[in-house]
Amino acid sequence: MRLILLGPPGAGKGTQATQIAQEYDIPHISTGDMFRQAVKEQTEMGVKAQSYMDAGKLVPDEIVIGIVAERLNKSDCVQGFLLDGFPRTKAQAKALDEILAQLNSPLNRAINIEVPHEDLIARLTGRRVCKDCGSTYHVVFNNTDQEGRCDSCGGELFQRDDDKEHTAKERLAVYNKQTLPLINYYKEKGKLDNIDGTGSIEKVFKQIKNALGSTG
Ligand code: AP5
Ligand code: ZN
């Protein structure tokens, strides 16, 4: 199964991606996670990406397209993949089409998680992430059972710098301007599944499974 996940910052892409990747046994490829790891390690790419991420802006297309092309050429993507956070611009979507044409592996579906704008700021500013394993929580909607610690590994939870209200708002504005048009791009190709992202995490996952049910 070759899938992409669309949706605004905070829609629940990462949360759902973990479950989808497990259910369909495909690698979860998150460009946001790849950049955060590169920033942590202060690699050359990480240093370049950091200023854009801190400002809530998109990392330039040529950097993103390069790392995704390299990742999709790895052997574990032969059986399929789930792209989370890519593509985010028309240029990235076109580049993805070309990469997949070269690999002779057309995309199956684009899953678009829809959440009203007013819910997104609350989801982003309340998000907490485990320092050790990257699990995602929310101070109200998906809290850990242990105060400030990860349920899976006991690691410490922290708030992403770009989840502070000012930067979160900028990310939403960037999404509306640069990424929203992609919904039509995939609709016109007949590959789009719109999913209501406002229910519980389990309810959203059920809808995604239903939408993918008939996909080979
Ligand atoms: P990235 O990491 O991709 O961030 P994003 O798209 O803004 O997505 P988020 O991780 O914020 O949200 P999500 O939809 O995954 O939500 P989550 O599941 O965590 O990108 C970060 C930065 O990297 C970008 O700003 C950019 O600079 C750069 N970048 C990355 N890719 C790029 C690209 N292709 N091109 C250029 N630059 C790129 O959920 C959010 C919260 O809500 C959590 O707390 C969760 O617990 C909670 N939640 C989830 N589901 C529910 C639910 N059903 N009900 C209630 N709460 C819920
Ligand atoms: Zn953890």
Ligand 1 atom closest to the CA of 85, numbered from 1: 3
Quick one: 136 exposed, middle or buried, by C-beta within 10 A (0-12, 13-18, 19+)? middle
**Positions marked catalytic:** 13, 88, 127, 160, 171
- Check whether 14 has a pLDDT greater than 60: yes
Are 144 and 150 contacting, i.e. CB atoms less than 8 angstroms apart?
A: yes
Query: What are φ and ψ of residue 142, in 5° steps?
Result: -155, 65
Tokens of 136: 């995602």
**Closest to 68 (Cα-Cα) out of 43, 25, 106, 100:** 100
**Residue with the nearest Cα to atom 2 of ligand 1?**
32
- Whole-structure pTM value: 0.95
Are 212 and 1 contacting, i.e. CB atoms less than 8 angstroms apart?
A: yes
| The predicted structure's pLDDT at residue 100 | 97
- Check whether 59 has a pLDDT greater than 80: yes
Tens digit of each residue's pLDDT (9 = 90 or more) over 155-199: 999 999 999 999 999 999 999 999 999 999 999 999 999 999 999
134 labelled binding-site residue: no
ipTM: 0.96
77 labelled binding-site residue: no
Ligand 1 atom closest to the CA of 137, numbered from 1: 46
Residues near ligand 1 (Cβ within 6 A): 7, 9-15, 31-32, 35, 52-53, 56-59, 64, 85-86, 88, 92, 123-124, 126-127, 136-138, 141-142, 162, 171, 200-201, 204
Q: How many CB atoms lie within 10 A of CB 145?
A: 8
Torsion, Cα 144 149 154 159, to 10 degrees, reads: 100
| The predicted structure's pLDDT at residue 213 | 87
| The predicted structure's pLDDT at residue 94 | 98
**Residue 30 CA, ligand 1 centroid: distance in Å:** 9
Share of the chain above pLDDT 90, in %: 95
Least distant ligand from the CA of 113: 1
Ligand 1 atom closest to the CA of 129, numbered from 1: 44
